[in-house]
């Protein structure tokens, strides 16, 4: 499995042995004001010499720590103003700097009030939670593949997903239902290695916002959550360079200004897994679970490039663009022959395997922002992309094994008087080529008439073409419903499926926002309309449009009372819709009529309370309930002889999800910051009409027509995230987590079973072989054991005297408790000998059972 290939270990960390040299520091007052009228800029963001960020108060003031032996350079930013770079002299305790309106951010003065502060996304109780660039750097720049999802998976409401899995469940929703966007462009498949890691490199990201509550009617296509990634923007005045080397990848980013009115930023990533794979091969004697790594022919790789830029033509007109191209893959060639002379079990086995995986994707989007009036903003976005996955694998397995004493005693006539049985040339071949092409465009218009009101409306088209060709032949053991044989059979099966489908999603929305003076009361009321048109080869499916109204209300109870800076309440309710990716495989043979296909719907309600303390602490608690209906579930039916494959769909699945999240956060501090979050989730689903069919083999996406827990469900997950800073040049990052187990099937005793061997024509050869099986069925109470993820990261920083060059080095260990407290599932067993591997448990999560060290080196100018 790819999870086995994706883990590695590297020991190049000697330069971290040098201790940081302490610097004497002083606190200075910095005031940021409007350069034209001298108005203090409340909410301006200061990025200090050591990459720390500070928010200015209502007086435009912030206190920052600087060295007292040299001058340093800081940066200041505010929506609608040009960014500024200023020098803090080696002497003095107070400094005032000015920013000037640029017209480059094309919102009017009224709209700027509603904008997010630079460097951050928006955190709103009941709607979203956001992380900024520094939080991402501390928590995501770690591990063998640095990934923004490492940060997202630490946020409240996000289910624990293990190591090699970038698709967590959001508040009980299906992992695949999380919609992601980059700079406003919806990304069809934002993953490398089949979902092991996301395409979002932490060094390309300015901020990330996870909307998991009742988010705005501006957005759709999800009943679980929306992840909005904002990429780093180029400087319009300076050349910026960043280089990074980590355990398995090298990154290079270059930002170039364009005539002082815009810029272009290019970033590339290349992995180099070969030395890591070689190291893991040396570790195989210490951990046999790593043995599969020695057969890697082409080491896992990722190659990607990200492009973004913007240019301001006039103070009312600006354009921007975002692009991405990436590829990832792996190749495996395996040959093994083993012989035993024992009295029981396998006498001889010979296995050859050849496997290749290649994934390629890319997209490009451009946007235009225009202010027809100072109170109006019109933004349009147009783009397209593609995604292609190629998988091809072949395996040949010859085996010769002894009949067990149990088999010879209970089935003496089936042995034919022989002591052993054999199977030869039992080949399996599988090939899949899938292609996705999409084009999308949207237009958004905002009008601020004043007095706290904002009105907005917009429309969007999202076109997707999905095609797939799958081919497989194999020898497999199965019980045929139509078989005349008294026992299971080992038979040849060959299947071919091919389809190509078009999906056109049309959406429109309108909304009104109101905010009273001093934000004592705020509300947003919106209505979204979504419609799907589906067409394939020789057929079309029409659907009903769905309406998704949404309402959010925020109320500030009081400010500045005792130790409490602010106490606010929030409540929201709304409808959401999304389509399952499984409908991509619908073809003309599937009897689905017009208006039978439905998008999944959810009615979501959230209530929350947030308390901001004067001591730089913040506490937030939210409770939610989701009623899911019109959910898609699917089954696949196979018929022997002719390779018939039939898909069946139902669109009446329901779900009931409730829970709560709480978070205590320590804001940016000199010595400590971070958060503690706890989430409880209760998610149950039901498929009212169990799918049945005239088939030999049937696979369903979910089992049973009774209420059940989905396979990704966990009741509890807790995260402690801390950044400890004993010195300004040293940061110690600690992540300690707890997650309860996921549902685990209840299994019976391992038992011997006779299997009849058929030839390619389906005729009985006269031979019986012995295989071992055990019953497995859904259990309401059985679960994997608890998971205790723990990560440690030590970072050292260096800066030059001018404050322009920045150096960071880190050493980290993920899954520190992997050897001591691993998550366990059911035991495995050998299907040919019946031997149970009592010390070998099927992995309960996507992670290695050992701690994973990593290191990184980053230099920027």
Q: Stretch 341-347: mean pLDDT, rounded? A: 57
Asked if the model's pLDDT at residue 511 lies above 50, the reply is yes
Residues 391 and 329: their CA atoms lie apart, in Å, by 9
Closest CA to 138 of 241, 52, 39: 52
CB 157 within 8 A of CB 209: no
Return the H-helix or E-strand segment holding 245. Answer: strand 240-246
What pLDDT digit, counting tens, does each position of 226-248 carry? Answer: 999 999 989 888 899 999 998 88
Per-residue pLDDT for 695 more than 50? no
Cα(619)–Cα(722) distance, integer angstroms: 16
pLDDT of the residue at 706: 84
User: Is 0.85 surpassed by the pTM of this model?
Assistant: no
| Beta bridge partners of residue 328, listed in sequence order | 302, 359
Element (H, E) at 549: strand 546-561
Q: In what order do the strands lie in the sheet with 179-182?
A: 128-132, 205-211, 226-231, 179-182, 185-187
Distance CA 737, CA 96 (A): 43
Residue 343 pLDDT exceeds 70: no
pLDDT of 303 > 90? The answer is yes
**In the structure encoding, which two tokens stand for residue 692, read together?**
């049945």
pLDDT surpassing 60 at residue 5: no
Query: Is residue 126 over pLDDT 60?
Result: yes
Report pLDDT for 161.
82
| Alpha-carbon gap, residue 188 to 439, rounded angstroms | 10
658, pLDDT greater than 70: yes
Nearest to 670 by CA among 42, 32, 54: 54
At residue 81, the pLDDT reads: 76
Residue spans of alpha helices (H) in 658-699: none
Residue among 650, 635, 717 nearest 683 (CA): 717
Judge whether 717 and 741 are in contact, CB under 8 Å. Answer: no
DSSP string spanning 765-779?
EEEEEEEEE--EE--
What average pLDDT score do residues 123-128 get? 88
pLDDT score, position 113: 31
Angle ∠(245,251,257) on CA atoms, nearest 5: 130
Q: What is the DSSP string of 214-269?
A: S--TT--S-SS-EEEEEEPPPPSS--EEEEEEESSEEEEEEEEEETTTEEEEEEEE
Across 295-309, 638-652, 653-667, the highest mean pLDDT is recorded for 653-667
Specify the pLDDT at position 821: 82
CA angle 222/226/227 to nearest 5° reads: 150
pLDDT for 346 equals 65
Provide the pLDDT confidence category of residue 584 given band limits of 50, 70 and 90: confident
Tell me the pLDDT band of 523, cut-offs 50, 70 and 90: very high
In 562-643 the beta strands, taken as DSSP E runs, fall at 564-578, 600-613, 617-639
What average pLDDT does range 740-768 have in this prediction? 90
- Residues 73 and 474: their CA atoms lie apart, in Å, by 66
| Under 8 Å between Cβ of 252 and 245 | no
Smallest CA-to-CA distance from 571 within 122, 124, 126 is with: 126
654: left (phi over 0), alpha (psi -120 to 50) or beta: beta
DSSP letter assigned to residue 668: S
pLDDT in tens, 814-834: 889 888 888 888 888 888 888
Query: Are the beta carbons of 628 and 657 closer than 8 angstroms?
Result: yes
Q: Token pair of 810, please?
A: 């880190």
Average pLDDT for residues 476-489, to the nearest whole number?
73
Q: Mean pLDDT throughout 128-147?
A: 90
Q: What is the DSSP letter of 282?
A: H
Instruction: Give the residue from 20, 13, 281 showing the smallest Cα distance to 854.
Output: 13
Alpha carbons within 13 A on the beta-carbon side of 434 = 16
Q: Which position has the higher pLDDT, 460 or 109?
A: 460
660 falls in which pLDDT band (50, 70, 90)?
A: very high
CA angle, 616 as apex, 615 and 618 as ends, to 5°? 110
Rounded distance, CA 98 to CA 37, Å? 10
What pLDDT, on the 0 to 100 scale, is given for residue 70?
62
- Look at residue 458 and tell me whether its pLDDT is greater than 50: yes
pLDDT at 700 over 80: no
> If pLDDT is split at 50, 70 and 90, which confidence band does 388 have?
very high
Among 457-461, 470-474, 644-648, 838-842, which range has the highest average pLDDT?
A: 457-461
pLDDT in tens, 551-570: 999 999 998 888 998 999 99
Structure confidence at residue 849 (pLDDT): 65
pLDDT greater at residue 555 or residue 38 = 555
User: H or E stretch including 463?
Assistant: strand 453-478
> CB–CB of 5/291 below 8 Å?
no
User: How sure is the predictor about 649, in pLDDT bands with cuts at 50, 70 and 90?
Assistant: confident
Query: Rounded CA gap, 597 and 605, in Å?
Result: 26
**Residues of the chain with pLDDT > 70: what percent?**
85
Out of 391-395, 596-600, 760-764, pick the least confident. 760-764
Please state, in angstroms and rounded to a whole number, the distance separating the CA atoms of residues 220 and 579.
Answer: 11
Q: Give the pair of three-digit tokens for residue 30.
A: 């910095």
CA distances from 554 to 105, 176, 266, 519, 520 (A): 27, 30, 40, 9, 8
- Given a contact cutoff of 8 angstroms between Cβ atoms, the answer to whether 134 and 474 are in contact is no
Q: Where are the beta strands (DSSP E) in 272-345?
A: 296-314, 317-339
pLDDT band at 488 (very low <50, low <70, confident <90, very high): confident
| Residue 10 banded pLDDT, cuts 50, 70, 90 | very low
Q: Is the pLDDT of residue 213 over 60?
A: yes
Read off the pLDDT of each residue in 449-468 and give the average, rounded to a whole number: 94
860 versus 307: the higher-pLDDT residue is: 307
Which position has the higher pLDDT, 835 or 609?
A: 609
Residue of 204 and 635 predicted with greater confidence: 204
242: tokens are 């960043």
Q: At residue 794, what are phi and psi to the nearest 5 degrees?
A: -115, 120
Q: Is the pLDDT of residue 9 over 50?
A: no
Report the chain's mean pLDDT, rounded to a whole number.
83
The region of weakest confidence among 54-68, 172-186, 352-366, 755-769 is: 54-68
Say if residue 120's pLDDT is above 60.
Answer: no
The tens digit of pLDDT for each residue in 783-797 reads: 988 989 999 999 998
- Joined together, the tokens standing for residue 266 give 């290019």
State yes or no: pLDDT of 112 exceeds 80. Answer: no
Taking residues 707-711, what's their average pLDDT? 91
Rg, the chain, Cα only: 29
């Amino acid at each position: 499995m790819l999870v086995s290939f994706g883990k590695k270990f590297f020991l190049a960390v000697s330069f971290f042995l040098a201790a940081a040299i302490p610097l004497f520091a002083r606190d200075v007052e910095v005031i940021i004001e409007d350069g034209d009228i001298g108005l203090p800029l409340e909410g301006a963001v200061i990025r200090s010499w050591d990459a720390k960020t500070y928010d200015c108060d209502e007086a435009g003031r912030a206190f920052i720590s600087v060295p007292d032996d040299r001058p340093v350079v800081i940066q200041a930013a505010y929506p609608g103003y040009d960014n500024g770079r200023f020098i803090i002299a080696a002497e003095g305790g107070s400094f005032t700097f000015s920013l000037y309106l640029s017209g480059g951010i094309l919102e009017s003065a009224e709209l700027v009030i509603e904008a997010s502060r630079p460097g951050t996304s928006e955190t709103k109780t009941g709607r979203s939670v956001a992380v900024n660039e520094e939080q991402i750097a501390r928590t995501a720049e770690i591990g063998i593949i640095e990934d923004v999802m490492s940060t997202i998976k630490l946020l409240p409401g996000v289910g624990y997903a293990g190591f090699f899995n970038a698709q967590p469940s959001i508040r009980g929703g299906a992992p695949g239902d999380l919609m992601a966007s980059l700079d406003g462009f919806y990304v069809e498949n934002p993953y490398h290695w089949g979902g092991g890691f996301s395409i979002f490199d932490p060094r390309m990201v300015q901020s990330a916002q996870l909307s998991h509550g009742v988010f705005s009617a501006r957005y759709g296509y999800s009943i679980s959550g929306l992840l909005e990634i904002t990429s780093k923007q180029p400087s319009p005045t300076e050349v910026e360079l960043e280089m990074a080397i980590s355990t398995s990848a090298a990154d290079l980013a270059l930002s170039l200004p364009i005539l002082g009115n815009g810029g272009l930023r290019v970033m590339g990533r290349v992995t180099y897994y070969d030395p890591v794979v070689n190291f893991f091969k040396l570790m195989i004697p210490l951990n046999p679970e790593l043995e599969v790594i020695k057969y890697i022919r082409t080491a896992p790789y990722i190659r990607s490039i990200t492009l973004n830029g913007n240019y301001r033509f006039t103070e009312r007109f600006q354009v921007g663009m975002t692009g991405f191209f990436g590829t990832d893959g792996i190749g495996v060639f395996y040959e093994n022959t083993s012989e035993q002379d024992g009295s029981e079990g396998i006498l001889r086995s010979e296995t050859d395997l050849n496997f290749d995986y290649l994934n390629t994707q890319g997209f490009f989007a451009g946007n235009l922002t225009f202010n027809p009036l100072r109170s109006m903003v019109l933004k349009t976005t147009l783009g397209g992309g593609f995604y292609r996955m190629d998988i091809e694998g072949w395996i040949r397995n010859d085996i010769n094994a002894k009949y067990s004493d149990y088999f010879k005693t209970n089935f003496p006539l089936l042995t034919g008087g022989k002591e052993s049985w054999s199977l030869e040339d039992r080949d399996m071949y599988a090939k899949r080529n899938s292609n996705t092409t999409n084009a999308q465009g949207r237009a958004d218009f905002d009008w601020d008439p004043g007095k706290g009101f904002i009105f907005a409306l917009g429309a969007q088209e999202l076109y997707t073409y999905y095609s797939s060709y799958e081919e497989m032949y194999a020898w497999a053991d199965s019980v045929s419903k139509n078989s005349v044989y008294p026992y299971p059979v080992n038979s040849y099966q060959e299947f071919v499926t091919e389809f190509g489908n078009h999906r056109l999603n049309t959406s429109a929305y309108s909304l009104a926002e109101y905010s009273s003076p001093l934000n004592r009361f705020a509300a947003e009321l919106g209505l979204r309309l979504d419609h799907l048109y589906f067409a394939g080869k020789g057929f079309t499916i029409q659907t009903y449009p769905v309406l998704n109204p949404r309402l959010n209300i925020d109320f500030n109870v009081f400010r500045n009372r005792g130790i409490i800076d602010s106490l606010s309440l929030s409540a929201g309710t709304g409808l959401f819709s999304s389509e399952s990716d499984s409908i991509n495989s619908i073809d003309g043979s599937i009897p689905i009529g017009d208006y039978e296909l439905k998008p999944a719907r959810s009615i979501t309600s959230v209530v929350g309370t947030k308390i901001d303390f004067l001591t730089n602490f913040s506490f937030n608690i939210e409770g939610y309930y989701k009623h899911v209906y019109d959910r898609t579930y699917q089954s696949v039916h196979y018929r022997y002889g002719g390779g018939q494959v039939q898909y069946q769909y139902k669109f009446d699945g329901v779900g009931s999800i409730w829970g709560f999240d709480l978070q205590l956060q320590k804001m940016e501090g000199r010595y400590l910051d971070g958060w503690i979050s706890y989430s409880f989730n209760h998610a149950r689903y039901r498929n009212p009409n169990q799918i049945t069919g005239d088939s030999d083999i049937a696979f369903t996406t979910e089992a049973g027509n009774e209420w059940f827990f989905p396979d990704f469900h966990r009741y509890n997950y807790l995260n402690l995230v801390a950044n400890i800073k004993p010195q300004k040049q040293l940061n110690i990052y600690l992540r300690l987590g707890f997650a309860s187990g996921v549902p685990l099937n209840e299994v019976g005793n391992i038992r011997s079973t006779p299997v009849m061997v058929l030839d390619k024509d389906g005729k009985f050869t006269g031979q019986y072989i012995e295989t071992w099986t055990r019953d497995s069925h859904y259990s309401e109470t059985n679960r994997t054991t608890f998971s205790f993820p723990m990560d440690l990261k030590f970072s050292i920083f260096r800066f030059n005297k001018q404050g322009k060059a920045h150096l960071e080095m880190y050493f980290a260990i993920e899954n520190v408790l992997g050897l001591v407290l691993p998550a366990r599932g059911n035991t495995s067993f050998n299907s040919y000998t019946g031997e149970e591997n009592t010390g070998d448990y099927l992995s309960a999560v996507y992670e290695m059972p050992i701690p994973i060290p990593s290191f990184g080196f980053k230099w920027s100018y």
